[in-house]
Amino acid sequence: MVEPRRAESGFEVKPVYGPDDVRGGPEGLAERVGEPGEYPFTRGVYPTMYTQRPWTMRQYAGFGTATESNARYHQLLEAGQTGLSVAFDLPTQMGYDSDEPIAHGEVGKVGVAIDSIEDMRTLFNGIPLGEVSTSMTINSPASVLLLLYQLVAEEQGFSGRQLTGTIQNDVLKEYIARGTYIYPPVHSLRLITDIFAYCKDHLPRWNTISISGYHMAEAGANPAQEIAFTLANGVEYVRAAVRAGLAVDEFAPRLAFFFVARTSLLEEVAKFRAARRIWARLMKDEFGAQNPKSLMLRFHTQTAGVQLTAQQPEVNLIRVTVQALAAIFGGTQSLHTNSYDEAIALPTEKAARLALRTQQVLGYETDLTKTVDPFAGSYAVECMTDEVEATALELMAKIEERGGAVRAIEQGFQKSEIERTAYGTAKEIDSGERIVVGLNRYNLDTEEPYDPLRVDPAIEQQQAERLAKLRASRSTGEVTSALDELRRAAEGRDNVLHPMKRALAASATVGEVCHALRDVWGTYVPPDTF
């Protein structure tokens, strides 16, 4: 007997689909799917989708110093990129300055080092911040980097009301899959709701959070786990904001999401459609949202870095193209296509340009932008959408049984589920049951030489020198006073972003601001390290 083929999410994939496989028949399908731009948004959040304009083409970039990253941003903008996406180095993501001992060896390695308002000025030198949309992949210190961005924009003559972009700001997934958390969950949620409230008043066009499944997928989550755990985190954020006194329709329209696109194209299309449907119903039924924008799951997609190989790296160009197609057919609002050499090192300029050209060819040389939701009505995709939805809802119910996303995180539920899936995938690759071209099948005896982009180790010393000059030139009393005010706000219930902005304007560093909050809130220690 032949074993049935199974999707990444575990359900059976039939060799042939027909009308009898679609749950509820044509009438049931019409109710679940709706029209593009209409509840439950299965077919897309906008009625015209890409027929009016294509998705936003972003390329995630940042390395070394702010000066080097600024040069790369100018290159990408000149090449036709329509939005910026900033990668920060690990010390910045963890809220440490470049001259702290814990930062040694990591400065500028996986992104750009940002220590102060001076670095932020350099990062966006010559780029009018009121005229570009900027996404920043930053979580625990998201408030700090957002305020630095706002301060530089104001120096350029732009008000907060003119700024558009996104901060990732999704700390819950850090506890699950990525590890760049600082504070305990309860304080992290407090900081996030303070950001929601601040942006409502001062940066109304800014997406205040990008609730992220991407990193869980990179850790090994399958498609159903990715959207289940991501949407469960989203529910936790909405509940926290409502508890803090915010009306759901005041902040929900600015929530955004971030997902991966894998090479399993049909299941990925189904995943995106199912995620929109689940979120729309949650926002309507649990939270009573009235504004249609509160029901829309708008998301950015990045192609799957975890599926790239260091072996025969040019083959990654094909993988990335298939993954990009999955995101586009799935209705993403913006897209980052990985460079083919990212499994080896930071992308070279040529590789980054080719990644952007991939999107441009798909956007301007194909007919993908001529019709909305081309897979609608496909027996296979509609059935898979139902299957992904059912599997995800079952996982979300298990999270609710444990008391919600935070309680489930504290119990290690999501992390253990992802690790189990990742282990199964690794076994399949090792045994050859899962084919990875160039890795366990169709490999070469010898690989062609490759010259990767390298980060200059002198960057760490350069950043330390910049910090020393900054501290010597600023008003120590003004910085100390502002940081003390920040600590008092953190101890009470005042919004911490107001004193935080004053501290940063006075040239307090990222590390100093984060340490001020550590003084009050402490740091998170995972249960498995007790």
Q: What is the CATH number of the domain that holds 379?
A: 3.20.20.240
The DSSP result for 243-285, as a single string, is HTT--HHHHGGGEEEEEEE-S-HHHHHHHHHHHHHHHHHHHHH
3-state class (DSSP) for residue 32: helix
Token code pair at residue 519:
């003084």
* Total Cβ atoms within 10 A of residue 424: 14
Q: What distance in Å separates the CA atoms of residue 362 and residue 373, rounded to the nearest whole number?
A: 15
Unique residue bearing structure tokens 């949620």: 189
**For the purposes of burial, counting CB atoms within 10 Å of the CB of 246, is it exposed (0-12), middle (13-18) or buried (19 or more)?**
middle
Is residue 461 situated within a structural domain? no
Query: What does pTM read for this prediction?
Result: 0.91
Number of structural domains (the chain) is 2
- Residue 380 Rama label (left phi>0; alpha psi -120 to 50; beta): alpha
The answer to whether residues 77 and 57 touch, using CB atoms and an 8 Å cutoff, is no
CA quadruple 418, 420, 423, 428: dihedral sign:
negative
Residues in the chain: 530
Six-digit token string for 429: 């690759």
- Please check whether residue 191 lies inside any domain of the structure: yes
Say if residue 377 is in the same domain as residue 269.
yes
Kindly state whether residues 398 and 521 are assigned to the same domain: no
Of 370, 402, 431, the residue that ends a domain is 431
For the chain, how far is it from start to end, CA to CA, in angstroms? 49
Has residue 436 been placed in a domain? no
- Check residue 449 and give its pLDDT: 79
Q: Is residue 257 part of a domain?
A: yes
Q: Would 35 be classed as within a structural domain?
A: no
- How wide is the angle at C-alpha 274 spanned by C-alphas 395 and 42, nearest 5°? 155
**Could you give the angle at which helices 142-155 and 510-521 cross, rounded to 10 degrees?**
140
Same-domain check for residues 398 and 511: no
**Complete edge-to-edge strand list for the sheet that includes strand 255-261:** 206-207, 164-167, 133-137, 83-87, 56-61, 334-336, 299-303, 255-261, 209-212
- For the chain, which ranges sit under pLDDT 70? 1-2, 26, 61-62, 453, 455, 528-530
Q: Give me the helix-helix angle, 265-285 and 316-329, nearest 10°.
A: 40
Q: What is the spatial distance between Cα 338 and Cα 336, in angstroms, rounded to a whole number?
A: 6
420 and 498 in a single domain? The answer is no
Which stretch of DSSP H or E encloses residue 233? helix 223-243
What per-residue confidence (pLDDT) applies to 530?
35
488 and 360 both lie in a single domain: no
Do residue 84 and residue 219 come from a single domain?
A: yes
Whether 281 is in a domain gets the answer yes
Is residue 211 within 8 A of residue 258, CB to CB? The reply is: yes
Average per-residue pLDDT for the chain: 93
Considering the domain boundaries, does residue 90 fall inside one? yes
Single residue among 407, 431, 455 that ends a domain in this structure = 431
Token pair for 277: 């449907």
Residue 64: inside a domain, yes or no?
Answer: yes
Give the end of a domain, one of 431, 459, 492. 431
- For 26-37, what is each residue's pLDDT tens digit? 677 777 888 999
20 burial via Cβ count (<10 Å: 0-12, 13-18, 19+): exposed
- Answer for the pair 85, 135: CB distance below 8 angstroms, yes or no: yes
CA atoms within 13 A on the CB side of 339: 19
Cα–Cα dist 457/104, whole Å: 10
Alpha-carbon distance of 91 to 107, in angstroms, equals 7
418 shares a domain with 485: no
Domain extent, residue 502, equals: 476-529
Domain shared by 277 and 132, yes or no: yes
